[in-house]
Structure formats: structure tokens, C-alpha cells
Amino acid sequence: MILYNTLSHKKEEFIPNVEGKVGMYTCGPTVYHFAHIGNLRTYIMEDVLEKYMRYTGLDVKRVMNITDVGHLTSDGDTGDDKMLKGAKREHKTVMEIAKFYTDAFFSDCEKLNIKKADVVVPATTYIDEFIKVTQSLIEKGFAYEAGGNIYFDTSKIDNYNVFHNFTEDDLEVGVREGVEEDTNKRNKADFVLWFTKSKFDDQELKWESPWGIGYPGWHIECSCISMKNLGEYLDIHCGGVDNIFPHHTNEIAQSEAYLGHKWCNYWFHVHHLNTSSGKMSKSKGEFLTVSLLEEKGYDPLVYRFFCLQSHYRKGLVFTWENLDNAKAAYDKLIARLASLLKEKKAGDTSAEKINEFKSRFDSALGNDINTADGLTVIYDLLRSDLDWSAKKELISSFDTVMGLDLIPHAEKKLSEDEKANSDIPDEVKALVEERTAARKAKDFAKADELRDKIAALGYAVKETREGTVITKM
Ligand code: AMP
Ligand code: ZN
């Protein structure tokens, strides 16, 4: 498999540390609000990556954190505590908010066919681990205490800006948002490992530590949860592009300072879902959720299909018109599959032809998770002269990666169509058959006459690519 690696800025062959096994870490949600469909774009594309790895026979162990403490409104260490903000908004405790939005997140994931990570760790359950690593970083000379907090000293490492993707200006994160600069920091890029002199008097969640009562910074969570569950050598780390700096940059700095060697080989970043006015974000307050899509009558899998039509390394613009186009394409695909299952048309069953499609799908997904090309292979397969059962089997297998429920949805449509068909009176069915014969004989005058007769009985008849459709008027 070839993957684009943000660390090297190029596509590379993916080679795990241990043959056949993959340790995969995903930054999880900050559970102070519903996930918006932008967040979920990232999780959908990571899900395809994971499923494709499994499809190729790799044994994947995937770990995800739940950020229920430590994430401030700015990705630097400034602004308000996101969890506290959520709790105040809803007049609940932080843990009530965390539980509610964690459950909501997994319920959205289920609707979008996003597999749950093998290990899910709420940050509040790993406090001892954060303290242990912070303590070790102080002992090794990479961290210092100032104003009561513990900071990572970015001047102590050679290559802090590992992704080469930010400038001096970016280091002003937070300051630009009109929040006061933290004067305790020795260097602009330094970040908090542990807040002891809580900047929030009303901080709800606090723990004992060697430096006094406090709570962890956001970045240390992911490093510790990953190292504890996936060991010292991580194969691949995922997130949205906004995580590259400062979050992932800081994760690498502290993990490698702690371990004394390189930590993670591949970095997979999904680009943003944007609206016409810019990046969709929770903090802007206006964002779209899976529940809203459902309220408007969309199957959540239409949104997954919409995401798979584009490459993960390109920004994706959300408009209702774009989603409607995806819905029309998805419905049409399901209708074509339903007619495949209905007609059971015999055809080529040669292993050569079957393997050709397998290898085309592999080339598409194996080339930096090109899901749009993967969909093209499915369309080409449907159009091909392969036997219907081979088509069904291949599509089921490809769908273990794409996660679009293609065959189950087609079977459902087929049985709904059959049920609707059984309600049609025999007289109408006979007229429709007569009309089909007239059309075949190119007797269009007779066909039109029969259509009028069918209409007089209260039914409409329409020719589609998937066959003749009879509907009650
Ligand atoms: P958060 O819950 O804010 O910690 O974000 C969860 C995940 O969603 C992170 O991996 C972010 O990088 C990602 N993310 C945030 N906004 C967007 C967006 N508009 N489009 C795609 N991914 C996003
Ligand atoms: Zn993270």
C-alpha cells in the first residue's frame, strides 16, 4: 500500500514495524458537543484506511482517546476549557456532558458504519500515566515548572517543527484570538503538560500530582494513551489537518523526548470539510450533525458516499446541492444492484476476469486510499459481462472497505419493490406486459394507447435503466 506521509511530504510504501501487524492511533473527539459532519469526514476516511488494511490481511490494533479534560478553546494553551464551557452551556457536570456526547459520538459512528476502535480510552482514566510521563520529562530536562504549571521546553529538542508546516506567526496561536499570552513560557512554542495553578477557579476535574492539585494538558493525553497501548514504536497516527500543528507536533516532541528514539513512522491527515463560509467548526456554534441530516430525510450512508466520492487529501465543500447529487447517485447505485439481484443474469465466471476487478480495486485503494477510483471500479464491475453472482460476491467484498451497505440495501429495495409489485392488480400487470411487447415491436402508437389505459386504472408506467417501473398515481 502506498500512503501519503505528512512527515515526509510524499507518498511512500507503507511498511509496518512488525510484519503483518499495524498499530494505529486516532485522535478522538473532544466531547463537549455533538461531532459535526466535518469531524465525521475525518473518522470516515480513517475508517476506510483501517478497513483497507484489514482487507489486505494486516492485523490492525486501533486505539482512540476521548478528550474529556484538558482541551482549551485555542489549540495552544489559551482560551477557555472546552468541557467546562459545554457543562455551563447545559447546566450539567463535566462528566455528565462527557458521557452524553461520547455516547452520541459512537451512535453517529454506528450510523455511518465507522467501526469502533479496538481500544477507546477517556483521558480522565489515564491521569497516573500522564503524571508518570510528565515526571520523567522533568527528570530528563525536557520540562520545567513555571508559575505552578509544568511546560515542555521546545528549545531542548533539535527538530521541533517536524512537519515544516508552520511559521513564527503560527506560534502566536491563541494570542491572535485576543487571549492574553502565557508569560510563564520560556519559548513561544512551549506547551503545558500539567496545569497546576489552575487558570480556571471553577475547574471541576482536578487530581493530586507531585506539583499540586491540577489537570493534564491536551497533547500529553494522546502520547500516553498511544504509548501505553501500542508500545514505543507506533506505525501510523491519524487526525484532521488542523491537528498537525500544534497537537501532533507537540505529541512527537514529548513522545520522542520521553522515549529517546523515533516514535511514529506514518502520519495520515484528512483535509477539512468546508462550508461556503470556511471550515466547519464546533466553536463557531453553527454546524451540521448526523441527526440533522436524518431529520432532513437523508440516510447517513449518503453522507459517507459523498465523502468517498472525493480524495481525503482535498478539501471538500459541503452544500445541500452537493449532498443531493450524492443521494441521487447512491440511490441509483442501489437500484442497479437491486436489478442485478432480481435478474440474476448469467455471464463470465472466469477467475481471470474476477481477479482483474480485484486487482483494479486494490490499485485504487492501495494508491493512497483513492476511494473515488474504488467507486469507479464498482461501476465498471456492474457494467461488465461478469456473472451476477460473481458481481455480488466482489461488491460484498469491496464493501467491507467502503462500508456503504450496498448489498443489504439492494436486497431491501428489491423486497420493497416486490411488495409494491404484489399490490398491483393483475389487470394492470397484463397491460404493462402488452405495452412492453408493443414497444419491443416498435409499435409506439399502441404502447401510448396502453399507457393511457394503465393510467385510467390509476397507475403510471416508466422505463428506466433498471427496467420497467410501475407506480400508483
Ligand atoms: P475535535 O472533536 O475538535 O477534537 O475534532 C475531532 C477530529 O475532527 C480531529 O481529528 C479534527 O482534526 C477533525 N476535524 C475538525 N474539524 C474538521 C473539519 N471541518 N473537517 C474535517 N475534520 C475536522
Ligand atoms: Zn491527539
CB 27 less than 6 A from any atom of ligand 1: yes
> What would the mean pLDDT of 411-435 be, rounded to a whole number?
92
CB 242 less than 6 A from any atom of ligand 1: yes
Within 8 A by CB and 6+ apart from 398, the residues are 361, 374, 377, 378
Phi-psi region of 212 (alpha: psi -120 to 50; beta: other; left: phi over 0): left
- Establish whether the linkage from the previous residue to 408 is cis, with ω within 30° of 0: no
Residue 168: pLDDT over 80: no
**What is the pLDDT, as a whole number, of residue 283?**
65
DSSP H or E run through 299: none
Residue 259: pLDDT over 50: yes
Up-side HSE of residue 461: CA atoms within 13 Å toward CB? 24
C-alpha 233/C-alpha 124 separation (Å) is: 24
* Nearest atom, ligand 1, residue 29 CA: 2
> What would the mean pLDDT of 220-234 be, rounded to a whole number?
98
C-alpha 32/C-alpha 41 separation (Å) is: 19
Distance, CA of 176 to chain centre: 30
* Nearest atom, ligand 1, residue 26 CA: 10
Q: Do 36 and 289 form a contact (C-beta atoms < 8 A)?
A: yes
Q: By three-state DSSP, how is residue 418 classified?
A: helix
* For ligand 1, mutation pick of 30, 42, 108, 313 (most atoms within 8 Å of CB): 42
> What would the mean pLDDT of 402-421 be, rounded to a whole number?
95
Ligand 1 center to 102 CA (angstroms) = 15
**What is the pLDDT, as a whole number, of residue 473?**
86
* Nearest atom, ligand 1, residue 282 CA: 3
pLDDT in tens, 322-357: 999 999 999 999 999 999 999 999 999 999 999 999
- Name the one residue in this structure whose C-alpha cell is 412492453: 436
pLDDT in tens, 36-73: 999 999 999 999 999 999 999 999 999 999 998 867 76
**What is the pLDDT, as a whole number, of residue 175?**
41
Percent of the chain with pLDDT over 90: 78
Residues, the chain: 473
Among the listed residues 425, 447, 426, the one whose alpha carbon sits nearest the alpha carbon of residue 435: 447
**What is the pLDDT, as a whole number, of residue 202?**
66
Residue 177: pLDDT over 50: no
Going by pLDDT thresholds of 50, 70 and 90, the confidence category of residue 196 is: confident
Among the listed residues 465, 457, 467, 466, the one whose alpha carbon sits nearest the alpha carbon of residue 436: 467
**What is the pLDDT, as a whole number, of residue 176?**
39
Highest-pLDDT range among 110-124, 286-300, 412-426: 110-124
Ligand 1 center to 142 CA (angstroms) = 29
Ligand 2 center to 27 CA (angstroms) = 4
Up-side HSE of residue 462: CA atoms within 13 Å toward CB? 8
Ligand 1 center to 38 CA (angstroms) = 6
Which residues partner with 66 through β-bridges?
Answer: 122
> What would the mean pLDDT of 350-372 be, rounded to a whole number?
98
Phi-psi region of 299 (alpha: psi -120 to 50; beta: other; left: phi over 0): beta
**What is the pLDDT, as a whole number, of residue 468?**
84
Residue 453: pLDDT over 70: yes
CB 39 less than 6 A from any atom of ligand 1: yes
Percent of the chain with pLDDT over 70: 92
C-alpha 412/C-alpha 351 separation (Å) is: 29
Going by pLDDT thresholds of 50, 70 and 90, the confidence category of residue 115 is: very high
Give the ligand at the shortest distance from the Cα of 226: 2
> What would the mean pLDDT of 274-300 be, rounded to a whole number?
85
Residue 170: pLDDT over 70: no
C-alpha 270/C-alpha 371 separation (Å) is: 13
* Lowest-confidence pick of 144-153, 161-170, 360-369, 396-405: 161-170
Within 8 A by CB and 6+ apart from 128, the residues are none
95, with CB counted inside 10 A (0-12, 13-18, 19+), is: middle
Q: By three-state DSSP, how is residue 69 classified?
A: coil
Going by pLDDT thresholds of 50, 70 and 90, the confidence category of residue 75 is: low
CB 280 less than 6 A from any atom of ligand 1: yes
Going by the DSSP 8-state scheme, the letter that residue 214 receives in this structure is B
- The amino acid present at 472, given as its one-letter code, is K
**What is the pLDDT, as a whole number, of residue 231?**
98
C-alpha 19/C-alpha 137 separation (Å) is: 31
**What is the pLDDT, as a whole number, of residue 463?**
85
Residue 76: pLDDT over 70: no
Residue 285: pLDDT over 70: no
Ligand 2 center to 305 CA (angstroms) = 26
Strands 264-270 and 234-240: parallel
- Name the one residue in this structure whose C-alpha cell is 502520519: 267
C-alpha 404/C-alpha 300 separation (Å) is: 10
Mean residue pLDDT across the chain: 92
Within 8 A by CB and 6+ apart from 427, the residues are 457
C-alpha 116/C-alpha 225 separation (Å) is: 16
**What is the pLDDT, as a whole number, of residue 287?**
80
> What would the mean pLDDT of 304-331 be, rounded to a whole number?
97
Q: By three-state DSSP, how is residue 464 classified?
A: strand
CB 76 less than 6 A from any atom of ligand 1: no
Going by the DSSP 8-state scheme, the letter that residue 191 receives in this structure is E
Q: By three-state DSSP, how is residue 435 classified?
A: helix
Single pTM value for the model: 0.91
Q: Do 200 and 217 form a contact (C-beta atoms < 8 A)?
A: no
Residue/partner pairs of 405-411 with CB below 8 Å, 24 or more apart: 405/113, 405/301, 406/333, 406/334, 406/337, 406/378, 407/337, 407/341, 409/301, 409/334, 409/337, 410/334, 410/337, 410/338, 410/340, 410/341, 411/338, 411/341
Residue 257: pLDDT over 80: yes
Ligand 2 center to 254 CA (angstroms) = 13
**What is the pLDDT, as a whole number, of residue 252?**
98
pLDDT in tens, 131-158: 999 999 999 999 999 988 999 999 999 9
